[in-house]
Amino acid sequence: MRLPALLLALFFVCSHLNAAETKVVTGVVLLNDLKAPDFKKITQTLSAKWGAKVDSLSITDKTALFVANGSTITMAFFNYPDKSDDIIASSGISWLWKNAEQVALTHKGQLVISIIGDDRRALEMYMTFTRCAAAVLENTNSSGVFMNSQYLLLEKGYYLSAANNLNKQQALPLYCWVYFGIMEKDDLHGGYTYGMTEFGGVEMEINSKDATVSDLHNLLYAAALKAVESRKPWRNGDVYTTNAGDKLTLKTAKGMYLDQQVLLIGL
């Protein structure tokens, strides 16, 4: 089965799911060489270490297709780098990977991971993606993970640490799924999310002239995490109660940092 056959299989899987309920979570492991990954070893690690039982496994020299944790999973190796504008832009704003521009953009190949399933299981699909990416990182000469839909570039060591926390402590690796922008302009501090729509929500913003960037970031992160954990996206008029007992109302507004409607956390 060559790559076109893999794409045909993907089409078959998606066509047999209700189009309104089908979701695809996709990301790329950045490879430092052009050696094709050992898919058998990757899937063995996925089952043995990361708790994702692999069924219906089909492997070729450049692809793998299987089922795990209730989703269909594909892995495809490409022997050329991602030179898109998206990865270049992401490397410039990747505050969690300080030298992304120097390291990430030098990758030579890609391993694309796609998780296909029911959009009502978005959280489970993202957890499965994280486990798959971790298994690939452990079994390849790689530098990190790129999620182009969220403009996220994450370094290998950080990603594996977050995946281990998910596995051992059930701590959701939200930084691996949602980009958190930090903004400072004149005397106004703020921040925004990019990726909450993946979980059925609306992107969020926060800003203040009085609070510190750190305090605003912590508030934004906590509110986003609660929405993802509870599987209940925030809506206009909802009230978020902080750990200190403060009640903050979320209101629909025109984004200050994003060119779209957002939920503004009122302070």
- List pLDDT tens digits, range 119-168: 999 999 999 999 999 999 999 999 999 999 999 999 999 999 999 999 99
Percent above pLDDT 90 for the chain = 87
- With a CB cutoff of 8 Å and minimum separation 6, the contacts of 215 are none
Strand stretches in 130-259, DSSP E = 142-147, 152-155, 179-185, 188-194, 204-208, 239-241, 247-254
Q: Given this model, what pLDDT does residue 138 score? A: 98
Q: For the chain, give the mean pLDDT.
A: 92
| CB of 216 closer than 8 Å to CB of 208 | yes
| CB of 188 closer than 8 Å to CB of 208 | yes
Q: Given this model, what pLDDT does residue 267 score? A: 85
Phi then psi for 116, rounded to 5 degrees? -120, 125
Phi then psi for 26, rounded to 5 degrees? -130, 140
> Per-residue pLDDT for 91 more than 70?
yes
> Per-residue pLDDT for 22 more than 60?
yes
> Per-residue pLDDT for 69 more than 80?
yes
Helix (H) or strand (E) holding 59: strand 55-59
Helix (H) or strand (E) holding 15: helix 3-15
Q: Given this model, what pLDDT does residue 1 score? A: 32
Rounded CA-CA distance 136/128 in Å is 12
Write out pLDDT tens, residues 173-218.
999 999 999 998 888 999 999 999 999 999 999 999 999 999 999 9
Rounded CA-CA distance 264/200 in Å is 17
Instruction: Compute, in degrees rounded to 10, the torsion defined by CA atoms 64, 66, 68, 72.
Output: 100
